[in-house]
Amino acid sequence: MKIIVTGGAGFIGSAVIRHIINNTRDEVINLDKLTYAGNLESLSSIDSHERYRFEQVDICDRNKLDRIFNQYQPDAVMHLAAESHVDRSIDGPAAFIETNIVGTYQLLEASRNYWKDLPETRKAAFRFHHISTDEVYGDLEGPVDLFTETTPYAPSSPYSASKASSDHLVRAWRRTYGLPTLVTNCSNNYGPYHFPEKLIPLVILNALEAKPLPVYGKGNQIRDWLFVEDHARALYKVVTEGKVGETYNIGGHNEKQNIDVVNKICELLDELNPATNLNIKSYKELITFVQDRPGHDLRYAIDASKIKRELGWTPEETFESGIRKTVMWYLANLPWAHRVQDGSYQRERLGTK
């Protein structure tokens, strides 16, 4: 197949592209605007591959989207391009409305315009796969409840509200126009190449510099952690084997309180990179509790039984194995992280210093 991946220079998108190029015979066309979160260095291992193409495109630009579809004649779209950081959405929601809602609309329309004129066999085989988040469901009240594919939407932040809106658009284009769409909602991802503003890489990198490790509130927020390479496998399985019109929840079966995640990272760093030169006995001494953010959901947890039952997918990594791999990757790839932190990854892309 030829697959368009939007947001392919991002954390999850780059994992999807690496998976497809390394494990299938499919071609990938990566569309990415290259905002602050887009980093082509995350694709350096495959960027010269004959089955990979990159196009710097804003999904809000309909003319460029039409050109891409006409030029590459894709068989599927995997839509991951999105503004995705909750704190940033609280400080500046406009970008989230523009990219996550308007951008999804433009991509849907470009896809529909292309799809409606395909020969019948290709038209029947075409897929539009929209990748979303479990945050659209709000949070869970009880300690044992789980998000299912039919859980009502109750988004809490501008980010999750914009993603909920894009989910509704995708389903409406399926029902109104017949566009063959699928939706997936995932739990919190982690792993290699994660942008350092997110909890796990932030804690790792702050700890290595003896900086405070900020934890919101009491750190009792619970998330279901999904290793990004497991997620990439699941997404490919959905786009190739999923049933049109269906939604699949993807989770890691790893519920952890944020404070427990931070403590586990500190323990691994104590083992793998002892803080002997930082005037501390353990990285845990750096943990600092800070004021909770507005509208902070307490607990997310995914029921991923449908994708296991219908498509045979289960995560390969436990949290213990995945977080160890993640910490080890950052320790081995600090230059990548430092180029993100100091902004040089963007300056080099623009040809400046």
| Residues designated catalytic | 134-135, 159
Percent helix, strand and coil across the chain, each rounded to 5?
A: 45, 15, 35
Task: List, in sequence order, every beta strand (DSSP E) within the chain.
Answer: 2-6, 27-32, 52-56, 76-79, 127-133, 181-186, 188-190, 213-216, 222-227, 247-250, 255-257, 287-290
Cβ contacts of 274 within 8 Å, gap of 6 or more: none
| Exposure class string for 324-339: b at 16+ Cβ within 10 A, else e | bbbbebbeeeeebbeb
Q: Is 106 helix (H, G, I), strand (E, B) or coil?
A: helix
What whole-number distance in Å separates Cα of residue 22 and Cα of residue 20? 6
Exposed (0-12), middle (13-18) or buried (19+): which is 343, by Cβ within 10 Å? exposed
**Nearest in space to 278 (alpha carbons), one of 327, 207, 328:** 207
β-pairing, 52-56 with 76-79? unpaired
Q: CB 24: neighbour CB atoms within 10 A?
A: 14
| Token pair belonging to 286 | 């750096």
One-letter amino acid at 178 equals G
Phi (first) and psi of residue 53, to 5 degrees: -135, 145
| Token pair belonging to 114 | 């292309």
| Token pair belonging to 51 | 């089955």
DSSP element (H, E) containing 144 = none
Q: How far apart are the first and last CA of the chain?
A: 39
Radius of gyration of the chain (CA): 20
